[in-house]
């Protein structure tokens, strides 16, 4: 189907049409070789750099604002960027964190557009449609783009993945970076698993609220109790062992800079610090998701925590720490499971499945990139996403790339640009060939002469916190 034909069949998708869309994938080597992705990319035009881009701003019908920057030598290609989660009320259309990448893309001839979304917080009710409406507003002002590549980071990576599954949306390809691609339900559940284990084992017998927060004050009370208890727990072998279990349920990374992964005690100490920093953050944000969904979609009821740990590649470390402490791991797992009685708000669960959970039914090619150490979007999400895409039968449209670095969305500009140009090459030729191969991405990123790159071959471990959406409570 030509770009023009896609444009004609594009519909402004209703919110209800942004239905549950799950994703997963496998990376299969292509038999056909392709030229380096940089060959298909747009070389920097020195003369055009001297002319500032044309800037356009606007407001959508629902109040979301949008912004676009179009270079003087526009190559006809549009990068439609979706920003991540925002707390508070500040909600600009142009994302400051993405600005350096946008600047480089514009130098290379791409136009860039983005929206604020109608709301801050967990904006999945309208975010995908806000992006598509931004694309429509852009094309009304600047004319139809020859090619549209959707790109997003963090929550925006999830938004981008959802857009890639909408039939006739009008985008041609997608790049999801550091995306919450396991979906909103999995996000709520893995974080709840860790909080539940911490409360049951480190604050036994206390009535600690873990779900249904609707105000910051409610979550702040839980955070204060858990932080104090976790801090005290670090001072004993028993406490450190239990924190190691909590860290595993939270998918806390093990490949940490300066930490000997062969030393379980050193690793546990490092993970304890990460748990102390991460768990309060994710609990603090939970109320924004609850308010958006009209209830809490997370649950522990029916979860067998011994089974979860058994499937984790971190299991032996937890067993070692429990052995040092002289604790019975099976006893603690039985305690967590016996106290797992939290059920979801079914309407909220339905909302999250509809708006915030990919199905894997990709309509366009998608490249997902992720750092190896990510505290807010664990790299194991990519394993879950890949599996879902495979189950949907769309693995041919999907590729993944990994970056050997710590941090949430801590990509270099070169890595982002190389990912966009890899997708551009995929769309130009109609084949993946080798454009998403680690060595090719690395070579092309380095050839940009920007801020370096660290693409690496990697296969993430299993995401142990997945659930059966069809469970009956």
pLDDT tens-digit profile of 382-438? 999 999 999 999 999 999 999 999 999 999 999 999 999 999 999 999 999 999 999
- 55-84: average pLDDT: 98
What gap in Å lies between CA 116 and CA 94, rounded to an integer?
Answer: 7
DSSP states along 100-155: HHHHHHHHTT-EEEEE--SSSSS-TTTHHHHHHHHHHHHHHHH---SEEEEEEETH
The CA distance from 212 to 189, in Å, is 13
The Cα 330–Cα 60 span in angstroms is 55
pLDDT tens-digit series, residues 365-381:
999 999 999 999 999 99
3-181+357-456, CATH topology level: Rossmann fold (3.40.50)
pLDDT, average across residues 347-351: 97
What pLDDT is recorded for position 254?
81
Backbone angles phi, psi at 239, to 5 degrees: -65, -40
**Mean pLDDT across the stretch 34-45?**
47
**Residue 401 backbone dihedrals phi, psi, to 5 degrees:** -140, 145
In tens, the pLDDT along 171-196 reads: 999 999 999 999 999 999 999 999 99
Q: Which segment of 36-50, 56-70, 189-203, 410-424 scores lowest on mean pLDDT?
A: 36-50
Please compute the mean of the pLDDT values over residues 336-353 and round it to a whole number: 96
Task: Report the pLDDT value the prediction gives residue 267, as an integer from 0 to 100.
Answer: 85
The verdict on pTM exceeding 0.75 is: yes
Mean per-residue pLDDT, 219-227: 93
Tokens of 360: 């894997």
340 token code pair: 């797992």
More confident residue, 3 or 363: 363
User: pLDDT at residue 48 above 90?
Assistant: no
- pLDDT tens-digit profile of 129-148? 999 999 999 999 999 999 99
Phi, psi of 95 (to 5 degrees): -85, 120
pLDDT score recorded for residue 469: 73
349 and 473 in contact (C-beta within 8 Å)? no
- Report the candidate in 365, 366, 369 with the shortest Cα–Cα distance to residue 438: 369
- The number of residues in the chain equals 473
Q: Could you give the CA distance from residue 139 to residue 245 in angstroms, rounded to a whole number?
A: 51
Strands (E), 350-464: 366-373, 398-406, 455-456
Distance CA 113, CA 92 (A): 12
Banded pLDDT at 19 (limits 50, 70, 90): very low
3-state secondary structure of 188: helix
Q: What is the pLDDT of residue 49?
A: 56
**Minimal CA–CA distance to 30: which of 464, 431, 450, 371?**
431
- For 153-162, the pLDDT digits (tens) are 999 999 999 9
Q: In what order do the strands lie in the sheet with 111-115?
A: 54-59, 65-70, 111-115, 77-82, 147-153, 173-177, 366-373, 398-406, 455-456
Distance CA(187)–CA(456), nearest Å, equals: 25
Residue limits of CATH 3.40.50.1820 in the chain: 3-181+357-456
The confidence band for 42, taking pLDDT boundaries of 50, 70 and 90, is low
What pLDDT is attached to residue 266?
Answer: 87
Whether pLDDT at 335 is above 60? yes
Question: What integer is the mean pLDDT of 317-324?
Answer: 94
Confidence of residue 35 (pLDDT cuts 50, 70, 90): very low
Residue in 151, 112, 171 with CA at minimum distance from that of residue 364: 171
The reported pLDDT for the residue numbered 165 is: 98
User: If DSSP codes are grouped into helix, strand and coil, which group holds residue 371?
Assistant: strand
Report residue 20's pLDDT band, with 50, 70 and 90 as the boundaries: very low
Tell me the average pLDDT across 25-50.
44
CA atoms 367, 370, 375, 381: torsion sign: positive
The DSSP string of 345-365 is -HHHHHHHHHHH-B-S--SS-
Q: Dump pLDDT digits (tens) for 230-268.
A: 999 999 999 999 999 999 999 998 878 888 878 888 888
């Amino acid at each position: 189907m030509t770009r023009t034909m896609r444009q004609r069949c594009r519909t402004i998708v209703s919110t209800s049409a942004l239905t549950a869309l799950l994703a997963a994938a496998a990376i299969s080597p292509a038999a056909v070789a392709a030229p380096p992705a940089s060959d298909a990319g747009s070389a920097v035009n020195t003369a055009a750099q001297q002319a500032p881009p044309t800037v356009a701003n606007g407001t959508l019908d629902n109040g979301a604002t949008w912004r676009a920057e179009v270079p003087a030598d526009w190559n006809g290609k549009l990068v439609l960027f979706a920003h991540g989660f925002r707390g508070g009320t500040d909600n600009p259309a142009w994302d400051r964190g993405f600005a350096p990448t946008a600047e480089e893309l514009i130098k290379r001839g791409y136009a860039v557009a983005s929206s604020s979304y109608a709301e801050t917080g967990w904006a999945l009710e309208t975010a995908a449609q806000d992006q598509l409406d931004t694309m429509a507003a852009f094309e009304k002002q600047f004319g139809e783009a020859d090619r549209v590549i959707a790109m997003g980071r963090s929550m925006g990576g999830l938004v981008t993945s959802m857009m890639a599954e909408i039939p006739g949306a009008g985008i041609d390809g997608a790049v999801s970076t550091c995306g919450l691609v396991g979906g909103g339900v999995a996000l709520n559940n893995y974080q709840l698993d860790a909080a539940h284990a911490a409360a049951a084992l480190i604050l036994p017998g206390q009535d600690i609220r873990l779900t249904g927060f609707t105000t910051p004050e409610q979550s702040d009370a839980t955070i204060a109790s858990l932080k104090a208890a976790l801090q005290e727990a670090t001072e004993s072998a028993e406490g450190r062992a239990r924190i190691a279990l909590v860290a595993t349920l939270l998918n806390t990374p093990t490949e940490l800079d300066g930490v000997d992964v062969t030393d379980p005690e050193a690793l546990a100490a490092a993970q304890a610090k990460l748990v102390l920093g991460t768990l309060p953050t994710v609990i603090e944000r939970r109320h924004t998701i609850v308010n958006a969904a009209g209830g809490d979609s997370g649950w522990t009821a029916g979860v067998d925590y011994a089974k979860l740990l058994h499937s984790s590649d971190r299991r032996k470390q937890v067993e070692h720490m429990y052995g040092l402490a002289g604790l019975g791991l099976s006893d603690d797992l039985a305690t967590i499971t016996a106290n797992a009685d939290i059920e979801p708000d079914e309407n909220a669960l339905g909302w999250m499945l509809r708006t915030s959970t990919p199905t894997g039914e990709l309509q366009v090619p998608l490249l997902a990139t992720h750092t190896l150490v990510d505290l807010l979007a664990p790299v194991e999400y990519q394993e879950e996403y890949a599996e879902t895409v495979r189950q949907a039968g769309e693995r041919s449209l999907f590729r993944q790339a990994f970056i050997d670095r710590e941090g949430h969305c801590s990509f270099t500009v070169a890595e982002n640009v190389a990912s966009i140009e890899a997708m551009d090459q995929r769309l130009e030729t109609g084949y993946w060939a080798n454009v998403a191969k680690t060595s090719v991405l690395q070579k092309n990123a380095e050839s940009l002469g920007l801020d370096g790159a660290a693409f690496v071959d990697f296969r993430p471990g299993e995401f142990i916190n997945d659930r059966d959406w069809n469970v009956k409570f």
